Amino acid sequence: MTSLSDILTDLVSDVDGVFLFSPNGSFHERFDGIENVVVVGAENTVEADTFVELPIQFADVTDRIRFGIEGAMDDGLVGEGDVLACIGSLFSDDADFTSRVRVDESMRSGIYDLFTNSRADPTVISDVFEVALELGRKGQKGKPVGALFVVGDAGKVMNKSRPLSYNPFEKSHVHVGDPIVNVMLKEFSRLDGAFVISDSGKIVSAYRYLEPSAEGVDIPKGLGARHMAGGAITRDTNATAIVLSESDGLVRAFKGGKLILELDPEEY
């Protein structure tokens, strides 16, 4: 006769570490005596010693767990073969699920890498993600719209592209992340071409026609010219491309010529 708590005990027995996803203070304190506790969240509110920052609040729990584990792997907190117990909140604000995860090198999808090891600041990339997600959710005046943001390594990107028309952001000092700038970006998204954003988040140009060589770019078939241009520029430069598709409304991120992350704006 096994009781429910036995099953739960099996789930968390012999784990090498515990991952807490956005715990609140009192809940985190209960883990004081346990070793290898890693806190994953948007902010280190509980002042934990080991912390992995989530740049965007992944709606998909698997993405969230993957991102946390990938971050911990990069920081050398966990290694391949470790078994982890992940505790987080799914429906309410309190912890309400436990999951047993085995760390595997194949979990390395590059999502963590995309944010932390890109040329651009992690905050800049997550700000651009937010703009793209909101644009995908609401569209431009209700109509679905596409957009292409090239973030980081702006000098090189500018040299591998040419203007389609006058640059509306010339001699302006606007940075992504300002609420008013996000509105501007949305308005300008009806322009054709790419937005070029510098490492520190300055919007360098809109209306750019990217001219990378598309050789050896590995992106799924069926994606359009915008994705191809975005993917290819990241292979030629150290930039990250964040693309909002006009046809299927998904936000995709490319780095090093590869598709790294795919998000559905409707879920955020």
Partner 1 sequence: MHGPLQFSVDEFFGTISPRIWLAVFIFTIGMLLAYGVMGVTSRLLERMGVVETIEGTSFERTTNEFGTSTARIITQLSGVFTILLATFVAITVADLQFVGLFWSSVAIFLPQLFIAIVILVVGVVVADKVELLVSERLRGVKLPEIGLIPLLAKYSVLFVAILIALSQIGVAVLALIVLLGAYALALIVFTALATQDLLASGTAGVYLLLNQPYSIGDEVKVGGQRGIVQEVDLLVTRIETDGEEHIIPNRTVLKDGIVRIQQ
**Residues contributing to the site for partner 1 (CB under 8 A):** 153-159, 170-171, 173, 198-200, 202, 204
- CB nearer to partner 1: pick between 171 and 221: 171
What does R_g of the chain's alpha carbons equal in angstroms?
21
Distances from the Cα of 4 to the Cα of 9, 10, 83, 97, 179, angstroms: 9, 10, 21, 14, 48
C-beta of 43: minimal distance to partner 1 in Å?
Answer: 14
- CB nearer to partner 1: pick between 174 and 250: 174
- CB nearer to partner 1: pick between 143 and 173: 173
- CB nearer to partner 1: pick between 120 and 243: 120
C-beta of 9: minimal distance to partner 1 in Å?
Answer: 40
- CB nearer to partner 1: pick between 62 and 159: 159
C-beta of 199: minimal distance to partner 1 in Å?
Answer: 6
- Per the rule left: phi > 0, alpha: psi between -120 and 50, beta: everything else, 162 is beta
Asked if residues 119 and 86 have their Cβ atoms less than 8 Å apart, the reply is no
Edge to edge, what strands does the sheet with 240-244 contain?
161-163, 203-210, 194-197, 147-151, 240-244, 251-255, 258-263
Asked if residues 232 and 141 have their Cβ atoms less than 8 Å apart, the reply is no
Q: Look at strands 147-151 and 194-197 and give their pairing.
A: parallel
> From CA 52, how far away is CA 63, in angstroms rounded?
14
C-beta of 209: minimal distance to partner 1 in Å?
Answer: 14
